């Protein structure tokens, strides 16, 4: 892609975590039929109707992100700590002396819905042309000529204006070379007879922040309702580097075409991407107190409509020698930016809870997210994202989240909590290997997440009008890590200049990325 977004970007933009107050997190977010907590403003807005007193609360979170990558049995681990205020809000209660409408409540809540902060790295050995980034670029460049991807001394032509940046950058840094002077087929610097090792590192940061404005009420102390408007801020930064050290590589000969395997050296491709945007959605929900002990809840979230902007650049530093000839320089892309629209999926939450008098609570939530309905749009270009949106509908499936939580009241003031949640993967299993997954621009690495597990515990203490809650949450998830996408076997073989066909498939070394996130959460609040 010259610019634009892909399936992996849509998956990233739509991610949701279980985050909020310590009481909410201590019960794994199973609060849809309970309400009466600041976080419910961002989940089931009917929860605001349960309040009978005004409330103000704030939450701080100390998190430890541990990311481990396993590539062919070799493991590397990175740790990252983060301290933040991830939730605060207030509810203002207006009481009515009416038989039906008991109270009308207004609320605001900020919630950090997702943190992207993460660092990971890995190393690759035994790289061949089929598993080299240069082979991947050569494959993508089929159909382009050297005139397309190169500069001309007698022209103002800029190849970055009209061609995919990754292809141009690969040619400018000698990672790919034409097979003949009139050819539109390309050879990889790593080919038959070459040996290579590689390294990948990735640093991510950013968050999805929600600002919720809600109104809700209590009718007959039986039916609770709420509606809300959510404004979302999105920020994501990534810096990555992928490099290879090689011997017996292929550099151009005196005619500028792919030569013999007698080059040695290394290269490092670095990428920088910043994405920011804002969006909005509407939410509505109800809670029914079916009996004194049993409650049901339902909430619906419309799609989140984002306006996004990407800012990006890339470079390749290379140092090759071929006999007495040295190739040592830095190839750089221009700095680019692109604005577009993104529609995150709608969500539905169904809940049930049983209240054991003054003794405790058992609660269950089921959440359906229509992840396969995500889409991109460019209002100024017709069908710009047609292929991408088709890929989303084919590759992505709806996401299902199951939450169960309990609270046991040890004394009238002191409570203990326990919870578990399971979130299915949005990626269909058949797309985890062998299928081409187009990526945008020059940033080639990506992850495909598997299911996510949450394990939570918590404690709470209530004074007359002040409360303090503590929680610990452990989130566990495994993902496939790709340095670049596989490509099935088609076209010419870019790894052997003498072989016309059949081609070799692009088969990157796929790693297992394991994320363990440990969050320690403290909430303090006042009811009045």
- Provide the pLDDT confidence category of residue 1 given band limits of 50, 70 and 90: very low
Q: Find the helix packing angle between 165-172 and 133-140, rounded to 10°.
A: 120
Alpha-carbon distance values, 63 to 86, 471, 521 (Å):
11, 12, 8
User: Distance between CA atoms of 173 and 158, rounded to whole angstroms?
Assistant: 16
How many CB atoms lie under 10 A from the CB of residue 477?
18
Given a cut of 80, is residue 399 above it in pLDDT? yes
Q: Within a 13 Å sphere around the CA of 306, how many CA atoms are in the beta-carbon half?
A: 27
8 Å CB contact between 438 and 401: no
CA distance 426 to 282: 23
How many Cβ atoms from other residues are within 10 Å of residue 142's Cβ?
A: 15
Q: What is the DSSP letter of 153?
A: T
What's the pLDDT at 493?
Answer: 53
H runs (alpha helix) in 101-162? 133-140, 146-149
Looking at residue 26, its pLDDT comes to: 97
Average pLDDT rounded to a whole number, residues 295-320: 97
Give the separation between CA 249 and CA 192, rounded to whole angstroms.
Answer: 9
Q: Residue 330: count other Cβ atoms within 10 Å of its Cβ.
A: 12
CATH number of 7-527: 2.40.160.60
pLDDT-derived band at 464 (thresholds 50, 70, 90) equals: confident
Q: In this structure, are strands 195-219 and 223-252 parallel, antiparallel, or unpaired?
A: antiparallel
DSSP 405-463: EEEEESSSSEEEEEEEEEE--SB-GGGSSSS-----TT---EEEEEEEEEEEEEEEEE-
- The pLDDT of 460-470, averaged and rounded, is 94
What is the pLDDT, as a whole number, of residue 495? Answer: 52
Residue 258 has pLDDT above 90, yes or no: no
Q: pLDDT at residue 280 above 60? A: yes
What is the per-residue pLDDT for 181? Answer: 74
Q: How many residues does the chain have?
A: 528
Cα angle 122-514-367, degrees, rounded to a multiple of 5: 140
Residues 62 and 25: beta-carbon distance below 8 Å? no
Q: Residue 315 is encoded by which pair of tokens?
A: 């470079």
**Mean per-residue pLDDT over the chain, rounded:** 92
Name which of 210, 229, 236 is nearest 112 in CA terms: 210
Give every CB contact of residue 447 below 8 A, 6+ residues apart in sequence: 8, 479, 480, 481, 482, 513
Dump pLDDT digits (tens) for 80-100: 999 999 999 999 999 987 888
Instruction: Specify the pLDDT at position 449.
Output: 95
DSSP state, residue 505: P
Q: What is the pLDDT of residues 195-247, one digit of tens each?
A: 999 999 999 999 999 999 999 999 999 999 999 999 999 999 999 999 999 99
| Per-residue pLDDT tens digits for 486-520 | 998 765 555 554 444 445 789 999 999 999 999 99
């Amino acid at each position: 892609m010259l610019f634009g977004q892909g399936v992996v970007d849509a998956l990233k933009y739509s991610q949701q975590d279980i985050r909020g107050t310590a009481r909410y997190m201590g019960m794994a977010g199973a609060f849809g039929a309970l309400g009466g907590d600041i976080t419910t403003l961002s989940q089931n807005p009917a929860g605001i109707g349960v309040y009978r007193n005004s409330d103000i609360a704030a939450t701080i979170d100390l998190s430890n992100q541990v990311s481990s990558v396993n590539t062919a049995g070799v493991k590397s681990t990175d740790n990252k700590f983060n301290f933040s205020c991830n939730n605060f809000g207030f509810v203002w209660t207006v009481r009515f002396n009416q038989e039906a409408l008991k109270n009308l409540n207004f609320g605001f809540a900020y919630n950090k819905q997702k943190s992207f902060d993460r660092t990971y790295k890995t190393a690759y050995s035994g790289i061949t042309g089929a598993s080299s980034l240069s082979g991947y670029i050569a494959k993508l460049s089929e159909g382009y000529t050297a005139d397309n991807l190169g500069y001309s001394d007698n022209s103002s032509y800029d190849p970055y204006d009209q061609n995919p940046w990754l292809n141009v950058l690969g040619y400018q840094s000698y990672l790919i070379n034409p097979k003949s002077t009139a050819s539109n087929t390309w050879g990889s610097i790593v080919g038959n007879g070459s040996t290579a090792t590689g390294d990948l590192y990735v640093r991510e940061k950013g968050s999805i922040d929600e600002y919720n404005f809600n109104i809700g009420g209590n009718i007959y102390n039986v039916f609770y309702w709420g509606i809300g408007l959510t404004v979302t801020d999105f920020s994501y930064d990534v810096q990555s580097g992928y490099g290879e050290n090689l011997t017996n590589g292929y550099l151009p000969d005196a005619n500028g075409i792919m030569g013999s395997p007698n080059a040695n050296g290394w290269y490092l491709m670095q990428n920088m991407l910043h994405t920011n945007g804002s969006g909005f959605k509407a939410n509505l929900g109800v809670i029914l107190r079916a009996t004194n002990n049993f409650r049901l809840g339902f909430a619906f979230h419309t799609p989140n409509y984002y306006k996004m902007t990407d800012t990006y650049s890339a470079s390749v530093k290379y140092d090759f020698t071929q006999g007495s000839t040295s190739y040592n320089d830095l190839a750089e892309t221009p700095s680019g930016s692109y604005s577009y629209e993104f529609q995150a999926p709608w969500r539905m939450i169904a809940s049930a809870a049983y209240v054991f008098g003054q003794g405790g609570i058992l609660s269950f939530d089921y959440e359906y997210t229509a992840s396969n309905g995500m889409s991109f749009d460019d209002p100024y270009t017709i069908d710009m994202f047609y292929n991408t949106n088709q890929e989303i509908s084919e590759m992505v499936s709806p996401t299902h989240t199951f939450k169960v939580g309990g609270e046991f009241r040890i004394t009238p003031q002191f409570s203990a909590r326990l919870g578990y949640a399971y979130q299915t993967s949005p990626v269909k299993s058949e797309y985890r290997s062998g299928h081409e997954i187009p990526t945008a621009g020059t940033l080639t690495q990506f992850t495909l997440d598997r299911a996510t597990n949450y394990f939570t515990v918590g404690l709470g203490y209530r004074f007359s009008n002040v409360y303090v809650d503590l929680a610990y949450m452990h989130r566990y998830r495994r993902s496939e890590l790709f340095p670049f996408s596989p490509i099935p076997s088609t076209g010419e073989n870019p790894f052997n200049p003498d072989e016309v066909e059949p081609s070799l498939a692009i088969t990157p070394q796929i790693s297992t990325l394991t994320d363990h996130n440990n969050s320690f959460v403290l909430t303090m609040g006042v009811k009045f």
